[in-house]
Amino acid sequence: MQAKARILFVDDEERIVNLLRLMFRGTYEVFTATSGAQALEIVRAQHIHVIVSDQRMPGMPGVELLSHVYRESPETVRMLLTGYSDLAAIVGSVNEGEVYRFISKPWDQEDIRATMAEAASIGLMDAALPKPARAAAAPVAAPATAARPGLLLLDDSDNDRAQIAGTLGAEYTVYHASSIDEALLVLESHDIGVMVCEAQVRNRDTGELLHVLKNNFPAIITVMLTQTADSDIVIRLINQARIYRFATKPIRQAVLQLAVSAAMKEHVRCLTDVRWAARQRTSAKPDLEPSVAKGILQGLKALTMRWRLFAA
């Protein structure tokens, strides 16, 4: 019999954690905390598979708590519960705490149950092997041609592409695309480890492409460029396309370099641990017609062959 996942819900409103406990106590081993400090005590005392924290809490906001959990228990799946839209906090939660998903208040019963089931499955899978064996577990062979993974820059601004290439070109092989169609051609022809891209290029949402890539080629890691105040778009991209890091425009050279460096390390980690690659996939589906997803994959036949282990 499989052990139950240990889930920790954190919210300074006791009625919220009590409600969540009642919802999930029959499915998981549920822990609750009403402060960040209390939550950290539990994380240090128990192996928590999933933590769900509210953002707005006195003393220690959710972003700070999840950042602490990331450092102390990196394999714990981290999710943020939020009832408001604050772009800075959202971006910070991804860059500092590597948040897996966002759950909005008020939540939809069916959605939150599905999200918790997905997170618990990943948490249990990651805990199945003893720690010393994890780094070498289930190695996935890198494509034979990939001596040094390239970086794909998808942005329809010539000036921004030139600036970013100037920042990153000395360390990485940078390929340029100013449209999704051009990006598909690059992905088809070259081994790409990291994508740096805008949320929209030429008035077309990149989320469709990123979602298909993430579920079929999870080792391609995304750094999103953003200058928008629309936090709903950012949350949607995180939930549906597993954005790994954010970098704001105008470009800050040091911030972008750090984000891309971390993303490339994540790419390598996905190549050497199939379970870590599985964490990259997402069941959250965009409003994507099957024909659109099929068309994207049709344009990536060579990539599918190179990453057939991931596509299986």
pLDDT, tens digit (0-9, with 9 covering 90-100), for 75-110 = 899 998 877 656 666 776 677 667 888 888 888 888
Residue 203: CB atoms within 10 Å: 6
| Gyration radius of the chain's alpha carbons | 19
Residues 189, 300 contacting (CB under 8 angstroms) = no
Residue 216: CB atoms within 10 Å: 18
Tell me the domains of the chain and their CATH numbers.
6-128 (3.40.50.2300), 150-311 (3.40.50.2300)
Amino acid making up residue 223: V
**What b-and-e string marks burial along 263-299, b requiring 16 or more CB atoms within 10 Å of the CB?**
bbebbeebbbbbbbbbbbebebebeeeeeebeebbeb
pTM (two decimals): 0.73
**Which region holds residue 113: left if phi is over 0, alpha if psi is between -120 and 50, else beta?**
alpha
Instruction: Give me the half-sphere count of Cα atoms (radius 13 Å) on the Cβ side of residue 239.
Output: 22
Residues 6+ apart with CB under 8 A from 5: 28, 29, 49, 50, 120, 121, 123, 124
Per-residue pLDDT in tens (0 to 9) along the chain, 312 residues: 567 899 999 999 999 999 999 999 999 999 999 999 999 999 999 999 999 999 889 999 888 899 899 889 988 999 988 776 566 667 766 776 678 888 888 888 888 998 899 889 888 876 655 454 444 334 344 444 445 789 999 999 999 999 999 999 999 999 999 998 899 889 888 889 999 998 888 888 888 888 888 888 888 999 988 765 566 777 777 777 788 888 878 888 888 999 899 899 989 888 887 666 666 666 555 554 445 556 676 667 656 655 554 444
Residues 76, 51 contacting (CB under 8 angstroms) = yes
